[in-house]
Amino acid sequence: MSLNLNYEPEVLVSTEGLTNEQWLGYRRLGIGGSDAAAVLGLSPFCTMRDLYYDKCGIQEILDEEESNWVAKKVGHRLEDLVAEIFSIKTGLRVYPVRKMFRHPLFPFILADVDFFIDFGNGKTGILECKTTNYNCQSKWANDSVPVNYEYQGRHYMAVMNLDEVYFACLYGNNENEFIIRHMERDLDIEEDLIAEEENFWKEYVQKKIEPPYIEKPDLVLESIRKHYGPAEKDSDTVILAPRHLNSVKKYLSCKEQKAEVEKEVKRLDEEMKQSYLDIIEELGTNCTGKISNGKEEYIVSYNPMYRAGIDKKALERLKIQRPDIYDDYVSVSESRRFSVKVKEAA
């Protein structure tokens, strides 16, 4: 596929005054920028299968509030502030266009851009506004951009036929705790991205075929849990397909290897404890000590840690004696543990 760059983006709809439900309805007509990483199996938030379900309007059985809903709301509400800080720091004019665009050559590729940049020389760029917490700023280290944001930016450049995108990220509460990254268009990467998005849309969404799970196991397990629902403890035993036999054997092999590693870790833990017993005895009730060999000084700490909790028996008493308090403050979450037992076939 050779890209044709002689085009202008089409306006799908004005987003001014759209309700959230209407906006989501238009997003389901194609692939948006925040969907791009999921199409490639690189999203930290959802699988390709989750994206397929969303585009097909298939609701999750466990429709829980997202764990990162606060971060999403904060990010949305601070977009204008992030854009303002970027403008002040760079001297560039930024402005929003409240429209959802689509690629005229690939109408299933959509873009709802945060802000556009006026470079003052007749050229236009894209500004994506992000927020993160102080502990996550390392994801932007060494002039890098988180991979899901990178592909969002490349997706937008493709739709808008523009050559530059800036990312502005606020990670603190002042203008100095601010990250700016610049990225230029790469037509080879863009061509591959469009090909993957086209394949996802035509081979899975339009044909109503579920895409495979290709992501990290924890993300896949969460996806399966949300779309199949809670466990049914009294359900019948499922006769699994013979093709799963290799997976079971691999699981057992990995479990055996893990047990050997854990045995070694336990041995090393014991040796570590043995090495500092005399130090702990000398510290007594003190929490810190130091020792020097003339060249280096070592600071030793043996600090207490406190954790509030309630044991199982006390929890049972609370449930019986004060069910009102129990119901108000105790929540039950479900997790499932996979195991394999081997026995002779009947």
Sorted by sequence, the CB contacts under 8 Å of residue 3 that are 6+ apart come out as: 187, 190, 191, 194
On whether both 38 and 176 belong to a single domain, the answer is yes
pLDDT of 307? 84
Same domain as 266, residue 158: no
Looking at residues 149-166, what average pLDDT do you find?
A: 97
Environment class of 179 (CB within 10 Å of its CB; exposed 0-12, middle 13-18, buried 19+) = middle
**φ/ψ (deg, to 5) at 289:** -155, 170
The model's pTM is 0.81
CA-wise closest residue to 89 among 183, 177, 184: 177
Both 62 and 206 in a single domain?
A: yes
CA dihedral of 152, 154, 160, 164, whole degrees rounded to 10: 120
Contacts of residue 181, Cβ cutoff 8 Å, sequence gap at least 6: 140, 143, 144, 145, 166, 167, 169
The CATH number linked to 173 is 3.90.320.10
Q: What confidence tens digit (pLDDT) does each residue in 241-282 have? A: 999 999 999 999 999 999 999 999 999 999 999 999 999 999
Domain boundary among 194, 227, 260: 227
Statement to judge: residues 80 and 118 lie in one domain: yes
Looking at the domain assignment, is residue 174 inside a domain? yes
Angle subtended at Cα 202 by Cα 197 and Cα 208, rounded to the nearest 5 degrees: 120
Question: pLDDT tens for residues 12-51?
Answer: 999 999 999 999 999 999 999 999 999 999 999 999 999 9
CA distances from 22 to 11, 29, 52, 217 (A): 16, 11, 19, 33
213-220 — which CB contacts under 8 Å span 24+ positions?
Answer: 213/47, 213/48, 213/49, 214/41, 214/47, 214/48, 215/41, 215/43, 215/47, 215/48, 219/44, 219/46, 219/47, 220/47
Q: How confident is the model at residue 65 (pLDDT cuts 50, 70, 90)?
A: low
Same domain flag for 254 and 142: no
Is 21 inside any structural domain? yes
d(CA 334, CA 338): 13
* Structure confidence at residue 308 (pLDDT): 81
Band (131; pLDDT cuts 50, 70, 90): very high
Domain count, the chain: 2
76 vs 100: which has the higher pLDDT: 100
Edge-to-edge strand ranges of the sheet holding 178-184: 93-95, 115-118, 124-131, 164-170, 178-184
Verify that 164 and 261 share a domain, yes or no: no
Kindly state the tokens that stand for 38: 């999921």
Task: List the end-to-end C-alpha distance of the chain, in Å, as a whole number.
Answer: 56
Q: How far apart are CA 183 and CA 179, in angstroms?
A: 13
Q: What percent of the chain has pLDDT above 70? A: 95
In a domain, 336, yes or no: no
Range of the domain at 77: 10-227
Beta strands in the chain (DSSP E): 10-14, 93-95, 99-102, 110-111, 115-118, 124-131, 164-170, 178-184, 288-292, 297-301
Q: Is residue 239 part of a domain?
A: no
44 and 143 belong to one structural domain: yes
